[in-house]
Structure 1
Amino acid sequence: MVSASGDEVLGRAVRTLETALEAVRVARRELTLAVVGAYRAGVPVARIAERCGLHPVAVRNLLDAAGEPRTRR
């Protein structure tokens, strides 16, 4: 059985985790917007990946998930 103080610690840990997860969701949305914006501006996938510290496949997957067509106009 967990003590009352143990419950408090667990409760704080859960709240901290929930806050961190929301921050990750916001960061992912911001990254997606930045990547899509750069791609639409004509920046090549390889350059976007290099600047973000990502693998080009991860950038392509992000563009696909955002519904961004990957054919250059």
Structure 2
Amino acid sequence: MRPVAKSSLLWGVVGTLTFLVGAQGYRLLIGALPTGYIGMIAIGLVVETTVGTVSYVVEPRLAAKGRT
């Protein structure tokens, strides 16, 4: 696996876990969300796909400019 692809997958996992922890924190501190657990997992998968895609596209551009 190419290092850029591996990095993108890991960033996607980090984004998903961050979203899910934030959603659970909201449920604990403030109250119920409009979605259940299945909805949160679905949104987490969308977050993972988005973050992974954006990091896959942006990381080589940043590396070319010497910003990573």
TM-score (normalised: structure 1): 0.44
TM-score relative to the length of structure 2:
0.46
Query: RCO (CA 8 Å, sep 6+): is it higher in 1 or 2?
Result: 2
Higher helix share: 2
Rg larger for? 1
